[in-house]
Structure 1
Amino acid sequence: MVLANYQPKTNVTTYFQYLESHEIMLFGTLSVGSSCSFFYINSVLLFTLRSKQVFCETSRYILLFNLLFADTAALVSNLVLYFLSSLRIRISYYACGTLILLSVFTVTISPLTLAVMSLERFVAVCYPLRHATIFTMRSMSIIIALVWAFSFIHILIRVFMLLYVFTTSSPDLHMNDFCSKEAMFFAPIFNDFEEVYASILFLSVGVVIFASYIGVALVARSASTDKASARKALQTLLLHLIQLSLILTSTLNTTIMVAIARTVGRLALMRVYNLCFVCLNILPRCLSALIYGLRDQTIRPALMQNLCCRWRCSLFRNKNQ
């Protein structure tokens, strides 16, 4: 009688474990598939922005290349971390630190570049006669260098904080958990620094984008302004605000997952994790390609041609003729 009751229970447990593992595999495949698709689009757009001279000499496209490069690097690092956690692979502390610092470094570059791109759109609409003298090749080089230098200083601060933690507490450098930002920056001092730094950074960038939006909206009401250009700039700035919000939310991903883990089961947590991975870590890294690659009339033809690998587009045109 005991065996009769025990066998179905074992089968049911095995069955649910089978469903659970296959559903996790399905979610993982969708997450990795979307990541690889966005990586391909970003890579093609990066190539497109270096394929013509007009893209290399125009301020907005130079800034877009810098933003895309940072987003693609962040996409690759997040994808590698996702692979390591999904396959349950543990790596050394130093290898994990390199991946995490690369991810943090690129996350800082993206919002700063969005702020500069918003200011560029503001000047282009509100002060079109001064735009060419303000955003020159020399000024663009200085601005991009300052953005990367600020991000590098952020990384140096974290490295010095790690050295301070090592000298005061002598932690074990053999990782007992999977590589993650939380496993790397384990001391409470990092949480305090992250909250202050993220608040100042995203609040400052948000104010810049919002102020640019208000300025363009006010100028768009005047009769002498190009209505179509102003409307397009307003849409771009609004998309920048959405992109900045997603990047800010991605920095709070750990807090969100910890709160959800207290109320749901393992399978539901994996569903939420994969959803957050796509929406918060992957989607913000592809919005630049969607905002500019599909909406910009100068980039779109070259991008579509490169996405179709050129020969397919020429074959399609020949059939229509």
Structure 2
Amino acid sequence: FTICFSYLSKMFANQSQTNITVGKELQSLVSLVLFSLLSTVPCCVFLFINGTLLFTLRSKPVFCETARYVLLYNLLFADTVLLAHSQLMYLIAACRIRLTYPVCGFLSMMGGLISVISPLTLMMMSVERYVAVCYPLRHAAIITVRNTGVAILLVWTFSSLNVLTQVFLLLEFPFAELESLQMEDFCGKESLLLNPVSDLYEKAFTYSVFISAGVTVTCSYIGVMVAARSASTDRASAQKARNTLLLHLLQLGLTLFSTMHNSLLLAISMILDRITLISIQCFLYIFVIILPRCLSTLIYGLRDQTLRPVLLYHLCCHLKLKTFPGQV
């Protein structure tokens, strides 16, 4: 009887523990689905808005022939691609899909290529605003569409060289010694830093890019502030440029913080349970990953007097057609 009671007690204890485990897994699954929807819906909304703004910037010659809008198109294109890439990586991790090293490497390098474009483009846009306020008579001669195109080409070349360097460092890892190319961990940039040299290079490159961009935007802001006190400067134009540069600093700070997103999650996962971690992960993802990629639309799409009516026309064309029934 004692042996039977002991066996039944262990059986019910195991069953109770199993029920608790299943309950936690079910709760975790429900939370994961809920937070995935909460991140996917705003991401799709902003992808639609960004895509509409990209189309708007190619819909009229004035946008294609103005350096400021050409820079905005490059920034918005990079943010839109990176937003779609981040959402794809988020869903892969949420569904617990483990990729192979080549596939993960391709996705990570594509993200690395695009992620450098935003801070460097913000740097060029800040310089353009500085020249427009401080040297208005020479602005048309300095900031031309041709010079802007050359600067954008240099930015993409610089970012591509960084990706090639990372690929060469990654190839030094002895993949032939692995039993399988299937990754044991989820795909992420940190999963590909397989040797100390790659990690050191990644940190040095990221810090140098963001420090350079931060110094450039800050110096441009100070220059605009000094020029705003001059009697020969248009105060309204200087005030608008100063507000734009402040928003660029905020965008740059959020973009810099987004590079530490995965490292921060890894540190938090050591001290918190899975359900709480999923909640924090979704919160950080929306405000650290999605939000910086949507600020370009808010900064220029809604504040720019030339761009805003055209953007609203494409976003709400049915209202425009009702207002002007004869317009095609």
Query: If the TM-score is normalised by the length of the shorter chain, which range does it land in?
Result: over 0.9
Alignment of 1:18-167 (within 5 A): 18-166=26-174
User: In the superposition, relative to structure 1, how do residues 228 and 134 fare at CA in structure 2: closer, same or farther (>3 Å)?
Assistant: same
Give 1 or 2 for the bigger CA radius of gyration.
Answer: 2
- Name stretches of at least 5 consecutive residues in structure 1 with no aligned partner: none
| 1:305 to partner: Cα distance | 1.1
Distance 2:106 2:17 in 1: 46
The residue aligned with 2:320 is: 313
| 1:187 and 2:195 are equivalent in the alignment | yes
Partner residue, 2:185: 177
Q: Taking structure 1 as the reference length, what is the TM-score of the superposition?
A: 0.92
> What's the TM-score once normalised by structure 2's chain length?
0.90
Cα deviation 1:48-100 (Å, max 9, x = unaligned): 00000000000110000001111111111111111211122233322221111
Choose which of 266, 270, 284 in structure 2 pairs with 1:258: 266
Instruction: Return 5+ residue gaps in structure 2 as ranges.
Output: 1-7
Distance 2:46 2:101 in 1: 29
Q: Distance in 2 between matches of 1:55 and 1:251?
A: 31
Amino acid at match of 1:297: Q
Q: Which amino acid aligns with 2:191?
A: A
SS in 2 for 1:142: helix
CA drift of 1:296 comes to 0.6
**Matched positions, count:** 316
For 1:284 and 1:69, the matched residues in 2 are separated by: 13
Given that residues 78 and 114 in structure 2 are in contact (C-alpha distance below 8 angstroms), is that contact kept between their aligned partners in structure 1? Answer: yes
Matching residue of 2:206 = 198
* Deviation string, structure 1 residues 246-267 (Cα, Å, up to 9, x no partner): 1111111122112211221111
Map of 1:202-213 to 2, 5 A cutoff?
202-213=210-221
Q: Match of 1:179, as an amino acid?
A: C
Q: What is the letter of the counterpart of residue 262 of structure 1?
A: M
Q: Distance in 2 between the 1:5 and 1:250 partners?
A: 45
Percent sequence identity is 46
